[in-house]
Structure 1
Amino acid sequence: MGAIKKMYGESITVVQLAYVRAAAHFGSFSQAALSLGVTQPALSVGIATLERTIGTQLFDRSPSGVAVTTLGRTILPHVLHMLGSVESIAHEIASARDSAPPLRVGVSPLLASSLIGRALEAASREQLGALVLREDNMVPLREALAQRELDVLFIPSVAPAGQFANRVLESEALHYLPSGAARGNGEAIEFSTLAAQALVLVGDACGLTTFTEALFTESNRPLSRYAGEADSYRTLQKWGELGLGGVLLPRSQFSPDARSQPVLREGTPLLISYEAVWNPHSPRSSTVVSLLDAMSD
C-alpha cells in the first residue's frame, strides 16, 4: 500500500475510472458525459487529471471524437475489472439491506430496445425488483457473468452457452441495404444474391460478424468484405449509403427511413436470434428464470 501511495498518492478515483470506461465506449467525451449525467468539462478534466497522475495518455483527441491509445487498450481491461468489482461490492451491500436487490443485466448493443422494454415491464409487473442495465460487447459481458458481476446476459445467439444456462428470447428479421445509389426498394431479396456483393462489417466484438460469417459458411458461399471496418451500426449504414459496400443488419439497427430489404433464404425470412444466458448455480438464478417466464407471458 505504501508503494502505491508513493507512486500515485490518493488521486485515482472510481469516478475517474468510470469516466474512462464511458469515453472508451462512446468514443466521445460529450456522449460519455451525457450518459453519466455530468458536464463534458468535468469528465474531460477528470480524465486529464488521471492521465497526469499515471504519466501517460489514455486517449487520442481529435475534432471528431476520441480514440483509446495503444497503452490505453492495455489498461482498459483492468479498469473494467476494477469497476466491475466496485459495482459488485455495491451490489452485495444493496443485497444485504434490500430484500429485492436489482437484477444486473448485461445487454449487447445489437439488441432492439423493444426487448429491453419487455424485460423492464415484466420485472415491474411481477415485482422482481429493479433491473440495472450494462451495455457492452460479448467478451466483457461473458467475463462479467463468469465473475458474478452480472446476473444475466441478453445477447445474440452466436456462441455455445458452455457452463451457463440459456433460453432464446426472440428472433428478428435480417435486412439488407445495397451499396451506394442502388438504394433498397423495400422488396425481399434472396441471400444467395449477396455473395456477389461486398459487405461492410463491424468488428466482431458484438457477435454480428461471427453470425454473418456463419451464414455464408453454412450456405457454402464466399463472403466478400469491404477492406475497412466500421465501429458502429450507424456508421455501417452511412458507409453503405456512401457506396463502400452493402450492409446486413437486424432491421431494428437501421434508421426508420432506411429502405432496407428483408433477406430470404430459399423463400424463408432469415432471422437472428437473441438469448438470455445466466449461471444456473447463482443465488439469483431463480429470479432470472422468473423474469424470463414473465417476459414470455
Structure 2
Amino acid sequence: MTLFERSPRGVKPTPDGTRILPMIDQALDALDAIVAEAQRLANPAPDTIRMGVSPLIGADLVARAFDAARNLDRPRDLVLREADLTHLREDLQAGRLDLLLVPAVQAMPTFRHRVIAREPVVVIDPADSRTESPVELHAAADAAYILVPDSCGLTTFTTELFRSHDLPLRTYPGEASNYRVLDEWARMGVGAALLPQSKTTHEHGSSRPLVRAGAPVEITYEAVWDNATPLAADLEDFVTSLTQLTELTERTYEETGD
C-alpha cells in the first residue's frame, strides 16, 4: 500500500493515504494517552501541595489557599514554607516546592504564572503627616525611603516602581531588617516607607495612598508553579479556585465593607 505519491509539484497523499493517515493520527493520540495514564498510575500525585510564601503574603490569602486546597476534587493538604524569594525560587526549581505565592517582581520564564491578588500601596512619611489624602508618585519622590534587604520582594518593587517612571529613589543610609521594622522606623520619623496597605499598623496616622495620575499604585501577588509535574492538573485547579475565592472576597468587601 502506498500512502504518498511524488510528482514534480511535490508530495501528496494517495487515495489510500487519505483514508489511512487520519486513523494513524488517532492511533498515535491514543498511544500517547495510554502512556500518560500509565505514568500517572505509576507515579501518583502526592496528597499534599508544598507551597512557599513570601513574608508579604497576608494571612487572609493563605487562609483562602487552604480553602482552595480542601475544595479540590481530590482534596489536598497544604504544607507551608515562608522564606525569602531567593530560597523559594531555588526550592521551586529543585522540586522541593510545588507552588509559590509571591509578589510579582521577578520573572521565572519556564514556569506558569497567574495573578492572584492586588492591593494598594501607601506612603508612610511622618514629615508630611498633616493630611491623609492621596499622594502622587512624582511628589512622593521627594522623601528619603528606608529599604529592607531584597528578600521579600518589597525593595525590588519599590526600586522598579521609581525606575520605570524615571524618578530618582532617595534612600535612608541605613536598612530595616523587615517590613515590620520598616513600619516602626517610619513611624518614629527615621525616614519614609512604601508598604502594602495591609502591612501598616492600624494606629499609623501618617500613611497616604500612593497614586499615579490619580490611579492607585498597587502591588501584585502571583502564583508560580511548574507545569511538568504529576501535580500539574491539580495545581491548575488549585490556582483557579484560589483566584475565584479571592475575587469573591474582594467583591463582597466592595459591596458590604466587611
TM-score range, shorter chain: 0.7 to 0.9
Q: Report 1 or 2 for greater relative contact order, CA contacts < 8 Å, sequence distance ≥ 6.
A: 2
Q: Which residue of 1 aligns with 2:254?
A: none
Other structure's SS at 1:111 match: coil
Other structure's SS at 1:199 match: strand
Contact 2:187–2:204 under 8 Å retained in 1? no
**In structure 2, what is the Cα distance between the partners aligned to 1:198 and 1:288?**
42
Other structure's SS at 1:159 match: coil
How far apart are 1:100 and its partner, in Å? 5.4
Q: Which residue of 1 aligns with 2:191?
A: 245
Q: Which residue of 2 aligns with 1:43?
A: none
**In structure 2, what is the Cα distance between the partners aligned to 1:256 and 1:131?**
30
Query: Which of 150, 168, 177 in structure 1 is aligned with 2:115?
Result: 168
Map 1:244-263 → 2, pairs under 5 A: 244-259=190-205, 260-263=207-210
Q: Which residue of 1 aligns with 2:135?
A: 189
Gaps in structure 1 of 5+ consecutive residues: 1-95
How far apart are 1:128 and its partner, in Å? 2.5
How far apart are 1:125 and its partner, in Å? 2.5
Query: Which of 81, 84, 93 in structure 2 is aligned with 1:146?
Result: 93
**In structure 1, what is the Cα distance between the partners aligned to 2:104 and 2:123?**
20
**In structure 2, what is the Cα distance between the partners aligned to 1:129 and 1:198?**
46
CA RMSD of aligned residues (A): 1.9
Q: Which residue of 2 aligns with 1:212?
A: 158
**In structure 2, what is the Cα distance between the partners aligned to 1:99 and 1:162?**
24
Letter in 2 for 1:220: D
CA 1:281–1:270 in 2, change beyond 3 Å: closer, same or farther? same
Letter in 2 for 1:275: E
Aligned residues with identical type, % of pairs = 37
**In structure 2, what is the Cα distance between the partners aligned to 1:106 and 1:287?**
16
* Residues 258-287 of structure 1, C-alpha deviations (whole Å, 9 max, x = no match): 232111001000001011011111111111
How far apart are 1:178 and its partner, in Å? 0.6
Answer yes or no: is 1:112 the counterpart of 2:58: yes
* Residues 150-197 of structure 1, C-alpha deviations (whole Å, 9 max, x = no match): 0000000001122111111111100111135x4364321111111110
Letter in 2 for 1:253: K
How far apart are 1:124 and its partner, in Å? 1.6
How far apart are 1:295 and its partner, in Å? 1.4
Gaps in structure 2 of 5+ consecutive residues: 1-41, 245-258
Map 1:1-297 → 2, pairs under 5 A: 101-126=47-72, 127-179=74-126, 182-183=128-129, 185-259=131-205, 260-297=207-244
Contact 2:69–2:77 under 8 Å retained in 1? yes
Q: How many residues align?
A: 201
TM-score (norm 2): 0.74
Letter in 2 for 1:115: L
Letter in 2 for 1:196: D
Contact 1:184–1:261 under 8 Å retained in 2? no
**In structure 1, what is the Cα distance between the partners aligned to 2:75 and 2:90?**
25
Other structure's SS at 2:102 match: strand
**In structure 2, what is the Cα distance between the partners aligned to 1:170 and 1:99?**
27
Other structure's SS at 1:227 match: strand
How far apart are 1:296 and its partner, in Å? 2.4
Contact 1:216–1:222 under 8 Å retained in 2? yes
CA 1:117–1:185 in 2, change beyond 3 Å: closer, same or farther? farther
Letter in 2 for 1:222: P
**In structure 2, what is the Cα distance between the partners aligned to 1:185 and 1:129?**
47
CA 1:201–1:168 in 2, change beyond 3 Å: closer, same or farther? same
CA 1:170–1:187 in 2, change beyond 3 Å: closer, same or farther? same
